Amino acid sequence: MRKLLARLRDDDGMTTAEYAVGTVAAVAFAAGLLKVVTSEKVLAALSAVISRALG
């Protein structure tokens, strides 16, 4: 029983399914972030900040 519990607690690394889920989550987050950063409002705000900083 102890060996089984030790084996269940042992987490040396992610399995292939966990890598796939992690990759999909990272891509979804990146796509959402790209959509936000490339929106008109954000681009206008960044342009305004840069223009003010450069004088």
**Helices of type H across 1-55:** 2-9, 16-37, 40-54
> Residue 13: its pLDDT value, please?
63
Q: Which residues have C-beta within 8 Å of that of residue 43, sequence separation ≥ 6? A: 37
Angle (nearest 5°) at CA 42 between 38 and 44: 105
- 10-33 pLDDT, tens digit per residue, is 666 667 888 889 999 999 999 999
pTM of this prediction? Answer: 0.55
Query: What is the average pLDDT value for the chain, to the nearest integer?
Result: 86
Whole-number percent of the chain with pLDDT over 70: 85
CA distance 11 to 1: 18
CA distance 12 to 35: 35
Q: Which of 1-5, 12-16, 33-37, 40-44 has the lowest mean pLDDT?
A: 12-16
